[in-house]
Amino acid sequence: MARAQAEQQQPTTGMTLIVMVGLAIAFLLLMAFLNVIKSGNVLSETNLLFATLIFYAGAGALYLGFGVTGTESYVKFASLATWLGLIANTAAVAHRWYEAGHAPFSSVYEMLLSFVWTLAVLTLVAEKKFGVKVIGTVTMPVAIVGVVLMQLLRTEVHPLVPALQSTWLHVHVTLAMLAYAACALSFALAMMFLIQDNMKTETFLAVTSASALAIYAGVVLTRFEKWGGLSLVAWDPERKSEVFLSRGVRLFVSVPDLGWLLLLTTLVVAAPLFLYLVSRYAKIVWYFRSLPARWADTFSMRGLGDAGATGAWIKIHPEPQNKEGWALLANRAVFLSILLQIMALVMFVVRANDARYPSLDADGLFPTSLAASPFILSGLVGGVFISLLYLLLLWRRPDLGRLLPSADDLDRITYKTICLAFPLLTLMIAAGAYWANQTWGSYWSWDPKETWAAITWLVYALYLHMRITRGWRGRRAAYFAIAGFAVVMFTFFGVTYLLPGLHAYA
Amino acid sequence: MALDFRAVAHKSWRTIASIQTGVVLLILVVILAAAGTIVLQRPVTEPDEMQSAYSPQALRILDAVGMTDVFHAWWFLGLMLLVSLCITAASIDRFPNSWRFFSRPYKYPDESFRRASHPQKSVAIADEETGLVAAQRALHSLGFKPERVVREDHFGIFAERHRISEMAVYIVHASLLLIFFGTIVDGLWGWRGTLNLNEGQTSNIVELRDGSMRTLPFAIRCDSAGQENYKDGTPKKWWSNLAVVEGGQDVKKKEIVVNDPLLYSGIRFYQSSYGPNGKVDKFSLVATPSTGSGQTKEIALAVDDTVPLDADTTVRFAEFFPDYAVRDGQVYRKSNDLENPAAHLIVTSKRAGESNAKNFDVWFPPLEEVADNSKSPWQFHATDLKMGHFTGLQVSHEPGQWAVWSGVVLLGIGLAFVFYVVHMRFWAVPVCDPKTGKCSLWIGGSANRNRDAFEQRFNDLVASVEEGLKTIPSSSPREQVATVVAN
């Protein structure tokens, strides 16, 4: 149905969406203006962030419209909106910087502010310089989620503890942001390469379903409480920080019944992957049974095995067909999972403020806050986003193929972004080591964040060696770029939340 | 010997220098380092936390294989050495080839090279000289310094830029080895520890990470230390005025703050913490005689100070509790934080004619179970309590640091060359067909990276040569040679 709608839209010039987005932006700006008149405060950070959000949202809608319909005229307006959003974003960063007296990198909120800014800049660079117009379809929604998260995490200007008062910290964090943004870009480009390289849509189904499943399984496994509750970190509204029982031990509060919903969503999210595996069951079994013959072939190069064994084996055991019916069902399941995910997200946002916990020092019960669980929230939003991207691919694949640069170009641009990311990673680690040396008296202490930064560096070093000396191109290089970004994500989020260490600030 | 020693050596060399070995080793490093962040590590974890996290058997096995201290285990060090060896071997293995390339640039492409080269282009020319001059001018206009190559009976033009780029990867590898070298030196001869000093205190004993003590050849004195706060009470700055005392003399003085250490004879002192040491610096009191007659006195005491109040009476500051608790008529120290302080004064009075001195326990606050404040011949009123502070210093000695930092700088330079400096070469060779007498100018180019951008540049060059050929009049070769020499 949606496909039919999209096809109807195509012949028009796409003015409808532009006008709609334009009107929406104008309306929201008017509302903001009225609000400004009422409060009399023009250049506050809230207003700047609100303007940023409005423009990015407009740009995101237009880029999505472009991604879905392929109407070229959207891009012009989308980048205009991105430019305006970027101006507001820059002003917000500058305001924060001025107010705090230090570069905005010291809390999760300030890091997000800078990250979103970098993302918008990179989007414009990728679009103008490399002609990857569709990139905004991916990056702008991420920027929007970032700005929304900032609204939740809004903090007062926190003074810097002594250890953080160093120019090297700013150098370190700026480089980290730039490096990670470049890694993210290389990941997006590698994904686009796989699309252009005619990777099967079902494979993307399996991957998107598995990623969403990983998010939900992660949340459910760590936070599911007995009898269907979901435990969240307690939030101290006075101090605007998480509540700690003792050093490093957070107080968890259970939100009743929310756990069941997330468990159900997890099952539904797993369904497409399950159906995919069922549809490929015969083939997977067939592949595993053929392995001895394949190994014989491999070893025949060293004079050990039997050349041509695979061919002989396949002659006897023909490759079974996939059961397409199941695959179609899997696509339906994706649709269902998106609906349920949105419901889980809404319920989470609504209920996250509901749990009560008794205060440790004062009498009375305190509510939990959505602001205390930014990573679960971004995980849930990310899940919806990944699944929506799959739908985009499923419905508009031929158009995407037309819009994206050729596979060769994408391969080369991916490599170039990694050539940019790698020196940045190196300098980031070096600046961090220098700072650590000034602060803790040791440039390297094998703290988990450091170790994972080194691992990230090694993974990209491997990529470069494989590419330069072994001539890896195409799929294998793309898989490597994707794996590299997965490691980056773990270093950025996973280490902070799963592994203890010195990097307690960020 | 049955085994051919040289063959084995050669094979080992090939193995250690191969990229596969390097990749396998790096993957191993990645896996083990990741394991080291997931398994709790002894140096940074309390022993009881380790015991509650793992069962005794599991802990014994983890300890035995070194998984609880991966980054200091002998096998991890061995692995890093293998990686270094692999980098060295791979570099040595590939270096001669690159060096030949670097030291003896290939200036005149022979026929087989011309056939295989990409990108290349042939442009029709009237005669050899015209072509050469056009190529020379075009390269000049692109910012190159072309040179004319003469081989027995051939001419050619050769131009290149950034030949050093061929060496960049060796710079990177060498810088990595330098960094490894520095960390190994630090691992073997370096040490780290802490030194806590009270204001005014001098010490030369550092407590190392493993709990042992190390005596420095000089002492450190803390003259003063302090903390500045933000308005909301969170600390903004810690500072300490330190002096290095060697041979009884102050040889160096510096105010250190976080991120700005004191360096003396290779040993660095970092500000790492600051806080109350639970000791009283000055306790100020006003004393009045209980009888009401007599002079009111203002006194200030440190712990163990004794001060006379009148001819018969003295007061001693006996004890101080920063955070007290009373149980069974005894006062205990709960912690060193200045939460709930109590002070114990003993007033000793010996009237003339009495044989024994009488002691009165005066407490602040007047603790019912132990205090006899009211019986004391003097009454006290506390006016001020000044606490002593300690400054927490991290001390470290890292003799390999210079190698690490120079390695880092070199690595940055090397990577900049690897990624952003392209070795570009251009050749132009006039080729005349002896049968037809027709001549063409063969133009070829090569770049060691970023080939698509290079092709654009190559096409520009070809266009420029073609443009130039139109403006150069096809005059006699002799004249042309003269102009070239004049150039």
Write out pLDDT tens, residues A487-504. 998 888 777 666 654 444
Average pLDDT of chain A, as a whole number: 78
In A, minimum Cα distance to B70 occurs at A446
B41·A446 Cβ contact <8 A: yes
Chain A 134-163, residues with CB within 8 Å of chain B CB atoms: 158-163
Is a pLDDT exceeding 50 seen at residue B483?
A: no
Query: What is the per-residue pLDDT for A165?
Result: 62
Angstroms from A175 CA to nearest CA on chain B: 13
Is a pLDDT exceeding 60 seen at residue B43?
A: yes
Report how far apart, in Å, the C-alpha atoms of A240 and of each of A68, A113, A200, A371 are: 41, 18, 47, 9
Contact between A327 and A202 under an 8 Å Cβ cutoff? The reply is yes
Could you state, in order of their start, the residue ranges of all structural domains in chain B? 5-102, 106-162+422-486, 190-276+391-399, 279-387
Query: Six-digit token pair at B7?
Result: 């063959």
Q: Which residue has the higher pLDDT, B234 or B65?
A: B65
Which of the 8 DSSP states describes residue A441? Answer: S
Query: What is the per-residue pLDDT for A306?
Result: 61
A464-469 mean pLDDT: 85
Using a CB-CB distance cutoff of 8 angstroms, which residues of chain A are in contact with residue B37? 448, 451-452, 495, 499
Segment among A424-433, B130-139, B361-370 with least mean pLDDT: B361-370
The answer to whether residue B268 neighbours chain A at the CB level (below 8 Å) is yes
In B, minimum Cα distance to A470 occurs at B19
Is a pLDDT exceeding 80 seen at residue A428?
A: yes
A427·B412 Cβ contact <8 A: yes
Contact between A220 and A263 under an 8 Å Cβ cutoff? The reply is yes
SS3 A200: coil
Query: What is the per-residue pLDDT for A232?
Result: 79
Using a CB-CB distance cutoff of 8 angstroms, which residues of chain A are in contact with residue B23? 462, 465-466
Is a pLDDT exceeding 80 seen at residue B368?
A: no
- Strands in B313-321's sheet, in edge-to-edge order, are B306-308, B313-321, B342-349, B358-364
Query: Six-digit token pair at B331?
Result: 């006062």
Query: What is the per-residue pLDDT for B89?
Result: 92
pLDDT digits (tens, 9 = 90+) for A231-247: 777 777 666 666 766 65
Is a pLDDT exceeding 90 seen at residue A395?
A: no
Is a pLDDT exceeding 70 seen at residue B49?
A: yes
A442·B29 Cβ contact <8 A: no
A364-374 mean pLDDT: 71
A451·B234 Cβ contact <8 A: no
Of A165, A426, A459, the CB nearest to B415: A426
Q: Which residue has the tokens 């104008």?
A: A26
Using a CB-CB distance cutoff of 8 angstroms, which residues of chain A are in contact with residue B32? none
The answer to whether residue B35 neighbours chain A at the CB level (below 8 Å) is no
The answer to whether residue B411 neighbours chain A at the CB level (below 8 Å) is yes
Query: What is the per-residue pLDDT for B297?
Result: 81
pLDDT digits (tens, 9 = 90+) for A134-170: 778 778 887 887 887 777 665 555 555 566 666 777 7
A335-343 mean pLDDT: 89
Query: What is the per-residue pLDDT for B177?
Result: 94
Using a CB-CB distance cutoff of 8 angstroms, which residues of chain A are in contact with residue B22? 465
B251-271 mean pLDDT: 85
Contact between B37 and B29 under an 8 Å Cβ cutoff? The reply is no
Q: Which residue has the higher pLDDT, A46 or B10?
A: B10
Query: Six-digit token pair at A232?
Result: 């969240």
Contact between A379 and A145 under an 8 Å Cβ cutoff? The reply is no
B415·A422 Cβ contact <8 A: yes
B30·A442 Cβ contact <8 A: no
H helix intervals, A301-439 = 309-316, 324-351, 374-403, 407-439
- Neighbour tally for A377: CB within 10 Å: 21
Contact between A151 and A116 under an 8 Å Cβ cutoff? The reply is no
Query: What is the per-residue pLDDT for B479?
Result: 44
A439·B41 Cβ contact <8 A: no
Contact between B420 and A466 under an 8 Å Cβ cutoff? The reply is no
Instruction: Choose, out of B25, B30, B37, B194, the residue to mutate when testing the contact with A (most A CBs < 10 Å).
Output: B37
Query: What is the per-residue pLDDT for B476?
Result: 46
Segment among A94-108, A111-125, A453-467, B203-217 with least mean pLDDT: A94-108
Chain B 64-123, residues with CB within 8 Å of chain A CB atoms: 70-71
The answer to whether residue B270 neighbours chain A at the CB level (below 8 Å) is yes
Average pLDDT of chain B, as a whole number: 83
Q: Which residue has the tokens 């200036």?
A: B107
The answer to whether residue B48 neighbours chain A at the CB level (below 8 Å) is no
Contact between A59 and A88 under an 8 Å Cβ cutoff? The reply is no
Segment among A11-20, A453-462, B251-260 with least mean pLDDT: A11-20
SS (H, E, C) A74-113: HHHHHHHHHHHHHHHHHHHHHHHHHHHCCCCCCCHHHHHH
Is a pLDDT exceeding 80 seen at residue A277?
A: yes
B192·A442 Cβ contact <8 A: yes
Using a CB-CB distance cutoff of 8 angstroms, which residues of chain A are in contact with residue B66? none
The answer to whether residue A246 neighbours chain B at the CB level (below 8 Å) is no
pLDDT digits (tens, 9 = 90+) for B294-341: 678 888 888 788 888 877 788 888 888 888 887 777 787 777 677 778
The answer to whether residue A175 neighbours chain B at the CB level (below 8 Å) is no
pLDDT digits (tens, 9 = 90+) for B430-476: 888 878 878 888 999 988 877 777 888 899 889 888 888 887 765 54
Q: Which fold has domain B106-162+422-486?
A: Double Stranded RNA Binding Domain (3.30.160)
B268·A465 Cβ contact <8 A: no
Number of H helices, E strands in chain A: 17, 8
Angstroms from B67 CA to nearest CA on chain A: 14
A295-320 mean pLDDT: 71
Neighbouring C-alpha atoms within 13 Å toward the C-beta of A505 = 15
Confidence of residue B484 (pLDDT cuts 50, 70, 90): very low
SS (H, E, C) chain B: CCCCHHHHHHHHHHHHHCHHHHHHHHHHHHHHHHHHHHCCCHHHCCHHHHHHHCCHHHHHHHHHHCHHHHHHCHHHHHHHHHHHHHHHHHHHHHHHHHHHHHHCCCCCCCHHHHHHCCCEEEEEECCHHHHHHHHHHHHHHCCCCCEEEEECCEEEEEEEECHHHHHHHHHHHHHHHHHHHHHHHHHHHCEEEEEEEECCCEEEEEEECCCCEEEEEEEEEEEEEEEEECCCCCEEEEEEEEEEEECCEEEEEEEEECCECEEECCEEEEEEEEEEEEEEEEEEEEEEECCCCCCCEEEEECCCCEEECCCCEEEEEEEEECEEEEECCEEEEEECCCCECEEEEEEEECCCCCCCCEEEEEEECCCCCCCCHHHCCEEEEEEEEEEEEEEEEEEEECCCHHHHHHHHHHHHHHHHHHHHCCCEEEEEEEEECCCCCCEEEEEEEEECCCHHHHHHHHHHHHHHHHHHHHHCCCCCHHHHHHHHHHC
Confidence of residue A4 (pLDDT cuts 50, 70, 90): very low
Using a CB-CB distance cutoff of 8 angstroms, which residues of chain B are in contact with residue A465? 19, 22-23
Query: What is the per-residue pLDDT for B176?
Result: 93
pLDDT above 90 coverage of chain B, percent: 11
The answer to whether residue A91 neighbours chain B at the CB level (below 8 Å) is no
A162·B236 Cβ contact <8 A: yes
Query: What is the per-residue pLDDT for A239?
Result: 63
* A228: Cβ contacts below 8 Å, ≥ 6 apart: A256, A257, A258, A259, A260, A263
A441·B394 Cβ contact <8 A: yes
